[in-house]
Amino acid sequence: MLVGMTTGHVYRRIPTAPSPFSIERVGDHAVVAHTVSGRVTVLERHVIDGFGEPRYTAAAHDGRHAFVSDSGHTELVAIDVLRGVVVGRVKLSQWPRHVSLAPDGHTLWVGLGTASNAIAVVDVADPARPRHTATVKPPFLAHDVGFAPSGRAWITGGEASTIAVHGGPTLPADGAPQHVTFLGDRAYVTSGASGTLRVYHEPTARLLATTRIPVGSYNVQFAAGRVLTPSLDEGTLCVLDANGRILEKVRVAPSSHDACLASS
């Protein structure tokens, strides 16, 4: 579904394969993971088979490759978005879920489950040949992981009302699981269970604001100076500014799971 960020208007509904779970912009294209049907779609271009349960996608810096977590096959899968083919796979120890690429574009962290005692570190310097090089042990059972522009990794809780900056402070949070994204020097942490978005000053991890958002607003992304969070429970999409103020709230579907900025 194509929604105007400044108007809240639903401009277009795009048919896809069944069970669209997540969406991520890769270059000029949008990659959709279909968890139940085991497919990945490059929207209006390719449908790629051969997945177990594809979950989330991270875009390589080259605008051509993408990395998809496949919890069904316990793999991280590299795809060529332009050709619509799988170009690499790496086996992981537990079922992968959330993924985040470091600012240098060479290192990917992969959360291994909904509430996991491990995060896989994958070398993706060659996007077509991902290599599992290390494992990070989080201070609690982890859910989401995200790299800030500073290069610091933020880890959210899978069961505990806690988030952490890797190698830095552990902070109180709202109900688990939380999700995190970044915009400039701000970190944004959502709690879908609590219906909140917390805004932090990323360099100091200082809490700046808390905003009420619809319950079920789990996933969160940044786009064009805005923060996007859809609600599974209420089917809304909220667009917030850098200070965490809601600019638009539109109901787009009975249930809404993920969002990304479309190519202009």
> Both tokens of residue 178?
């939380």
Residue 38: count of CB within 10 angstroms of its CB:
19
* Amino acid in the structure at residue 251: R
pLDDT digits over 94-130, tens only?
999 999 999 999 999 999 999 999 999 999 999 999 9
Contact 71, 94 (CB under 8 A): no
Count how many residues are written for the chain.
264
pTM of this structure: 0.94
DSSP element (H, E) containing 229: strand 226-230
Domain boundaries along the sequence of the chain? 1-137, 145-158+166-257
Q: Does the pLDDT of residue 8 top 80, yes or no?
A: no
Beta-bridge partner residues of 191 = 178, 196
Local confidence band at 246 (pLDDT 50, 70, 90 cut-offs): very high
> What was the pLDDT predicted at 263?
59
- Written as six digits, the tokens of 30 are 């949008």
Q: Which amino acid is at 62?
A: D
Fold of the domain built from segment(s) 1-137: Methylamine Dehydrogenase; Chain H (2.130.10)
Judge if 1-137 and 145-158+166-257 fold alike in CATH terms: no
* Upper half-sphere CA count for residue 224 (Cβ side, 13 Å): 11
Residues 153-176 have pLDDT tens digits of 999 999 999 999 999 999 999 999
Average pLDDT value for the chain: 94
* Nearby residues of 222 by Cβ (< 8 Å), 6 or more positions away: 181, 182, 183, 188, 228
Cα separation, 56 vs 35, in Å, equals: 9
The β-bridge relationship of strands 46-48 and 39-42 is: antiparallel
C-beta separation of 152 from 164 below 8 A: no
Is CATH 2.40.128.630 correct for 145-158+166-257? Answer: yes
Non-local CB neighbours of 67 within 8 Å, separated by 6+ positions: 57, 58, 60, 76, 77, 78, 79, 99, 101, 108, 122, 124, 127, 130
CB-CB contact of 100 with 59 (8 Å): no
Average pLDDT over residues 71-93: 97
Pair 82, 64: CB distance under 8 Å: yes
Beta bridge partners of 64: none
